[in-house]
Amino acid sequence: MTPKQSIPPILRPDQVKPVSLQVFAEHFGLEIKDHVSTVELTGISMNTGDLRKGDLFVAMPGVKTHGASFIAKAIELGAVAVVTDSQGFEILQDCVLPILLLENPRAHLGDLAAFVYGNTQGNMPTLFATTGTNGKTSTTYLLEGILRQLNRVTGLTSTAERHIAGEVIVSRLTTPESTEMHALIARMREKGVTDVAIEVSAQALTQLRVDGLVFDVAGFTNLSHDHFDDYDGFDDYLEAKAKLFTKAKSRCAVICLDTEYGRRVAELSEVPVTTVSMNPENKADWTVRVLAELPDKTEFELSGPNGEKLSSSVPILGAHMASNAGLAIVMAVQAGFLFDNIAKVLSGGIDAYLPGRTELVSPQGAPNVYVDFGHSPDAFLNTLAAVRKVTTGKVLMLFGADGDRDASKRPEMARVAAKGCDLLVITDHHPRFENPASIRKTLVDEARLFRPELEIHEVSPPEAAIRLAVSLVQPGDAILWAGPGHQDYRDIEGVRTPYSARAEARAALKEAGY
């Protein structure tokens, strides 16, 4: 049996200043049942899978059972007190730990965690948040790269990784749960981090994962069809994203106007807005102009409202990446960094590595093979266009679709892929508990219906698909393998099976003699 991949650990600070349970209760106006005045808190957890000695255990209602049902395990692991609601309190009648009664504890979880870990106003690094359907990971990495070039000590949390003053750790979720997020930021503070770039998903906002934080600058990239299994169409999805641009969540905003939803977010924003666009007709405050698109970089120019101008490059292909870079630079400006200093340090390009974002993995002399994390129709459209611009020969598209995720976007993914390529290979991605053959059939049928003359292959598993794809191209051609990107596993029936698209692509090319 294939071994289950271990899930990365939750990161916490090495040292935490203990917080008196009495002080904690007084701060939040809570009564301690079975009062114990000497109890001190050194952490907080909502999950016994990560609970540690000295933790405050927050027992909340779950989908199937109440968290209070796990009190024996929590005590065994070292919990010293419990916060719960009325339902949990009934379950905990015989509990030996002090109990604090708080209705709807999830709504307060971020504030509770912020207090336990000391993430309070005046004691925080500069916080940047980026949201949007596509480009938020890239913008987060580019922003961190810019900040490093400005000699800042940086932190980052994204779909792919967590960074803490140079330390790199694989991520668990795009945006961690609020208890994990506050522990992570406390660790960053401990390591001397001055600025943190955070990728914020719509789910993070609706599930309150960034509660207890106020971002100094919030950025918006775009919005397109995705996550409609979680949101009831575009308006609901937009409403979730717009929560970031309220006074409770941010101090100012930088918004890209290149989609209609950018303009709507700017209108909805409760905080001061600065705008950026690649289209001069949008009359944005800042304008990005692409100067050159090359296989390994995109050169661009950024112009500001007061005559500011800089030329730089992003180490990845695509006009959409220049847009992300422009957004990141303006976010740094809005945080107070001097434009002239930014222009100087970026004159030779932005120094950033973007894992799995249109990542060229083929050696010199081979067909260009790009591995990309994009898994939405709009991501396919932009990335295919970028690959097409730098390819003299054919463009082959290889992709699959997520199982047990928004199935409504699959037909459009297939249509966009079929329209933008010369050869199409459809394979598996993360089937999860869904039948992979059924997912492939939907994609193949839609692509053939949309473009009957296109050469389409259906191949499973992806290890075989990439080898077929390599056999169908030659030097001068390109393969865009969309979906897996940086990920080092496939989710098959709940098991994280170790797997790397980058490694498989390199192996396929080597076997073909490249």
DSSP 391-411: -SS-EEEEE---TTS-GGGHH
Three-state secondary structure call for residue 503: helix
Residue length, the chain?
514
Q: Residue 393: how many CB atoms within 10 A of its CB? A: 14
Provide the residue range defining the domain that includes 464: 359-511
Mean of the pLDDT values across residues 322-332? 97
pLDDT band for position 203 (cuts 50, 70, 90): confident
Could you say which of 117, 140, 171 is where a domain stops? 117
pLDDT at 374: 82
List, for residues 460-478, the tens digit of each pLDDT value. 999 999 999 999 999 999 9
The mean-pLDDT minimum among 45-49, 167-171, 403-407, 505-509 falls in 167-171
Q: What CATH number has the domain bearing residue 266?
A: 3.40.1190.10
- The per-residue DSSP string of 416-472 comes to HHHHH-SEEEE--S--BTS-HHHHHHHHHHHHHHH-TTSEEEE-SSHHHHHHHHHHT
Is 331 part of a structural domain of the chain? yes
Round to whole Å and give the CA distance between 215 and 126. 8
Three-state secondary structure call for residue 183: helix
Identify whether residues 148 and 290 lie together within a single domain: yes
Q: Which residues contact 326 (CB under 8 A, 6 or more apart)?
A: 276, 278, 286, 288, 300, 302
Is 351 part of a structural domain of the chain? no
Structure tokens at 22: 């009495």
Is 9 part of a structural domain of the chain? no
- Residue 1, pLDDT > 50, answer no
Q: Residue 489 in contact with residue 496, Cβ under 8 Å?
A: yes
Chain centre distance of CA 458: 30
Question: Which is higher by pLDDT, 226 or 109?
Answer: 109
Does pTM surpass 0.85? Answer: yes
Identify whether residues 104 and 171 lie together within a single domain: no
Identify whether residues 63 and 133 lie together within a single domain: no
Three-state secondary structure call for residue 49: coil
Mean of the pLDDT values across residues 408-417? 94
Is 252 part of a structural domain of the chain? yes
Count of structural domains, the chain: 3
pLDDT band for position 170 (cuts 50, 70, 90): confident
Could you say which of 117, 135, 165 is where a domain stops? 117
Q: Residue 93: how many CB atoms within 10 A of its CB? A: 7
Is 145 part of a structural domain of the chain? yes
- Residue 34, pLDDT > 60, answer yes
Round to whole Å and give the CA distance between 211 and 109. 7
Could you say which of 117, 145, 175 is where a domain stops? 117
Q: What CATH number has the domain bearing residue 402?
A: 3.90.190.20
Q: What CATH number has the domain bearing residue 103?
A: 3.40.1390.10
Identify whether residues 320 and 467 lie together within a single domain: no
Is 5 part of a structural domain of the chain? no
pLDDT band for position 379 (cuts 50, 70, 90): confident
**H, E, C per residue of 294-353:** ECCEEEEEEECCCCCEEEEEECCCCHHHHHHHHHHHHHHHHCCCCHHHHHHHCCCCCCCC
Residue 494 burial class via C-beta count within 10 angstroms: exposed 0-12, middle 13-18, buried 19 and up: exposed
Amino acid at 55: D
pLDDT at 218: 97
- Residue 229, pLDDT > 70, answer no
Identify whether residues 368 and 309 lie together within a single domain: no
pLDDT at 270: 96
Q: Residue 196 in contact with residue 11, Cβ under 8 Å?
A: no
Q: Which residues contact 394 (CB under 8 A, 6 or more apart)?
A: 422, 423, 473, 477, 478
Is 1 part of a structural domain of the chain? no
What is the DSSP secondary structure assignment for residue 8, as one 8-state letter?
P
Identify whether residues 430 and 336 lie together within a single domain: no
Helices (H), 197-288: 202-206, 234-242, 260-268
pLDDT band for position 173 (cuts 50, 70, 90): low
pLDDT band for position 140 (cuts 50, 70, 90): very high
Q: Residue 445 in contact with residue 354, Cβ under 8 Å?
A: no
Structure tokens at 61: 């209602």
List, for residues 237-257, the tens digit of each pLDDT value. 787 788 999 999 999 999 999
List, for residues 281-326, the tens digit of each pLDDT value. 999 999 999 999 998 899 999 999 999 999 999 999 999 999 999 9
Identify whether residues 171 and 83 lie together within a single domain: no
Q: For residue 507, give the H/E element and its range.
A: helix 501-511
Q: Residue 511 in contact with residue 464, Cβ under 8 Å?
A: no
Is 6 part of a structural domain of the chain? no
Mean of the pLDDT values across residues 84-110? 94
- Residue 219, pLDDT > 80, answer yes
